[in-house]
Amino acid sequence: MVALNASVMASIILCWAQLYDVKVAAHAVWLASMLTGGAIYLMCTAFVFAVAIDIGQHFSFFVVSLVVGGVFFVFQTLVSIPLIIPPSANQIIERIATPFIYLLIFYLYHFLDRLYFKLKKKEEAQKTTSS
């Protein structure tokens, strides 16, 4: 319910940006992006807990769903950091911090890809030796 209200408020605030007032428009877009980001966070959290409740009978699935939800929550936070920065400081901080954030995401992706490849290779080797 909170996510729905935040989305509606964000769309109304984006209408303020159409008033052709540059000072109001920049802050309106920033506030709308904050509300939209909050709505997306709340929807993500609600979905993870709904899945966790649905598979709550099996403890291992419950733990795995919460861990995967937590990983996606952290990833979403890293990606949306540039949207949280206020417009006045956004250009300076974004120019300095954004390459490092996306470089971290790039390294994390390649680490997970390599880990998946090694696990897949190990599994295939076990299948061929057991056959």
Question: pLDDT of 7-48, one tens digit each?
Answer: 777 777 677 666 677 777 777 777 777 777 778 778 877 887
**Cα 86 to chain center, whole Å?**
19
Residue 70: partners with Cβ closer than 8 Å, 6 or more residues away: none
Distance CA 78, CA 66 (A): 18
CB-neighbour burial class of residue 6 (10 A; exposed 0-12, middle 13-18, buried 19+): buried
Distance CA 121, CA 36 (A): 41
91 and 78 assigned to the same domain: no
106 and 45 assigned to the same domain: no
The domain tally of the chain equals 2
8 and 50 assigned to the same domain: yes
80 and 93 assigned to the same domain: no
15 and 58 assigned to the same domain: yes
- The per-residue pLDDT for range 92-127, each reduced to its tens digit, is 777 777 788 788 888 988 999 999 999 888 888 888
DSSP category for residue 19? G
pTM of the model: 0.50
- The per-residue pLDDT for range 37-88, each reduced to its tens digit, is 778 778 877 887 888 888 878 888 888 888 888 888 887 777 777 666 666 6
99 and 130 assigned to the same domain: yes
Buried b (16+ CB within 10 A) or exposed e, 48-86: beebbeeeeeeeeebeebeeebeeeeeeeeeebeeeebe
Written as six digits, the tokens of 94 are: 């974004």
HSE, CB side, 13 Å, CA atoms: give it for residue 81. 17
67 and 110 assigned to the same domain: no
Domain that holds residue 100: 86-131
74 and 99 assigned to the same domain: no
76 and 92 assigned to the same domain: no
